[in-house]
Amino acid sequence: MKPAPFEYHAARSAAEAVEVLARHGDAAKVLAGGQSLVPMLNFRLARPGVLVDINGAADLDYLREADGVLAVGALVRQRKLERWAADRAPLIAEALRLVGHVAIRNRGTAVGNLAHGDPASELPALLLCLDGAVVARRVGGERLIAAAELYLAPLTTSLAADEILAEARFTLPPAGAGWGFAEVARRHGDFALAGCAALLWLDGQGRIAGARLGFFGVGSTPVRGSAGEGLLLGLEPTPARLREAAQAARGGAVPRRGSARDGRLSPAGRGVLAERTLIAALERCGSRP
């Protein structure tokens, strides 16, 4: 199908974009990569009266690393972040490798994916796992939203109608941290039926100083496996402990919502994924900075 007609604004800066949003509020949608929004327009699942295209807002196109935090501007394409992260943040690169296909990642933006908030998406879970936050900007200012406060329901974030997601911040894992990433998808590049990202780092005595578990495709939002993380801290990592943590983190059965691609991998399957990512994270611990 073809989209319903809309008023089109090509913003040349972030300031211009939020100004249009302020004027139109609920009736306006932000267009960045378009890989999530344009299909919805084509199906007429979304019929915004106004489209604010930020592809010309050069001030939103930046990738900065400082003090262990990676700041990703709204216009950074997934492919660009994937290439940057290949050596510097392999967990992010691996997650992005499984987002759609190259043609999607050449246009799709990382921040756009985060703003879209599909519970089966990799990046929102990564944001949670990496103690991330986003910068929401509106006319008159901006605010920081922690990842844990960003996702409310499927495709629903706590962004207000007059805000754009201008930047995402990922706290990069400490030197020596190991990572693991696994998902189950029907086909390569599909949304995950379930997936897990894990980070582990050890102290000087070989005990777990930090653990992170993030799940996607397991409910209506990405989920932190905090219960599992808590079981690991301060202890030596043994296979039994990793399994116990995975089981604690995996969560219960997800009620079927009626969508064909619902993340319905059973809790047992999720537990397996979590365990495998923890094992992989442990194997990578301390191997390189």
Please tell me whether residue 27 binds other proteins under the rule CB under 8 A: no
Please tell me whether residue 235 binds other proteins under the rule CB under 8 A: no
Tell me which of 13, 16, 19, 34 binds other proteins, using CB under 8 A: 34
d(CA 252, CA 254): 6
Instruction: Map residues 157-186 to x or -, x wherever contact with other proteins holds by CB under 8 A.
Output: ---------------------------x-x
Please tell me whether residue 193 binds other proteins under the rule CB under 8 A: yes
Please tell me whether residue 197 binds other proteins under the rule CB under 8 A: no
Tell me which of 15, 23, 25, 39 binds other proteins, using CB under 8 A: 39
Please tell me whether residue 5 binds other proteins under the rule CB under 8 A: yes
d(CA 37, CA 30): 9
Size of the site for other proteins (CB under 8 A): 48
d(CA 255, CA 272): 20
- Least CB distance to other proteins at residue 194 (A): 8
Instruction: Map residues 97-136 to x or -, x wherever contact with other proteins holds by CB under 8 A.
Output: ---xxxxx-xx-----------------------------
Query: Tokens 């992260």 identify what position?
Result: 85
- Least CB distance to other proteins at residue 167 (A): 22
Spatial strand order of the sheet with 208-216 comes to 178-185, 192-202, 208-216, 223-224
Please tell me whether residue 41 binds other proteins under the rule CB under 8 A: yes
Contacts with other proteins by CB under 8 A lie at 1-8, 10, 31, 34-35, 38-39, 41-43, 51, 53, 55, 79, 100-104, 106-107, 184, 186-191, 193, 258-261, 264-266, 268-269, 272-273, 276
